[in-house]
Amino acid sequence: MNNLSLKIVRLLTKKRLTVSFAESCTGGLLASSITSIGGSSKVFNMGLVTYSNNAKVKLLKVPKKTITKYGAVSYETCHSMVKNLSKISRSHISISITGVAGPNGGTKEKPVGLVYVGIKKGGKTIIKKNIFKSKKRISIQKATVNQALKMILNIL
């Protein structure tokens, strides 16, 4: 993770871009991967851990009806999180993460390892659905952070 994080911080610095995160199931791990790099204060704007549905609604202005209709772990919620984070943070790049990290809480429709990662840069928004096969919470969280870092790299 650190090599990717270092590469991203350097690229963001070079391009004079800022980044912000809204994390749920990763609990700040993505923000930590960037802020562990020296000089990240030039590019890292904010990181919100919106773990509860209430936090998603109150801080990120995700409509309650979106969570009620589609669930917290959904394309729609992830999209709303990243779109609103972009407005709140005014960062060049915004990332949102919502998923089921396990080991419990999964269902047939939404199994443990299902994670949505959203990225927004300018007018471009991408939401990626991932199904990580590991049953270990930390493995799912790390795989999610890795996926998010790769998405940042791709959009740069």
The whole-chain average pLDDT of the chain stands at: 96
Please state the rounded mean pLDDT for residues 32-60: 97
pLDDT beyond 60 at 37: yes
pLDDT in the model for residue 135: 83
**DSSP helix/strand/coil, 30:** helix
Which amino acid is it at 129?
Answer: K
- pLDDT at residue 92 above 70? yes
β-pair type (93-99, 19-23): parallel
Domain 2-155 belongs in CATH node 3.40.50.720? no
Query: DSSP letters of 73-102?
Result: SSHHHHHHHHHHHHHHH--SEEEEEEE--S
Band (pLDDT 50/70/90 cuts) for residue 93 is: very high
Q: What is the pLDDT at residue 89?
A: 98
Residues 145 and 129: their CA atoms lie apart, in Å, by 13
Residues 116-136: what's their mean pLDDT?
96
CA–CA dist 50, 14 (Å, integer): 30
pTM flag (> 0.75): yes
Looking at the predicted structure, is the pLDDT value of residue 1 above 60? no
State residue 95's pLDDT score: 98
- Please report the pLDDT score of residue 2 as a whole number: 72
In whole angstroms, what is the distance from residue 146 CA to residue 151 CA?
Answer: 9
> Exposed, middle or buried, 11 (CB in 10 Å: 0-12/13-18/19+)?
middle
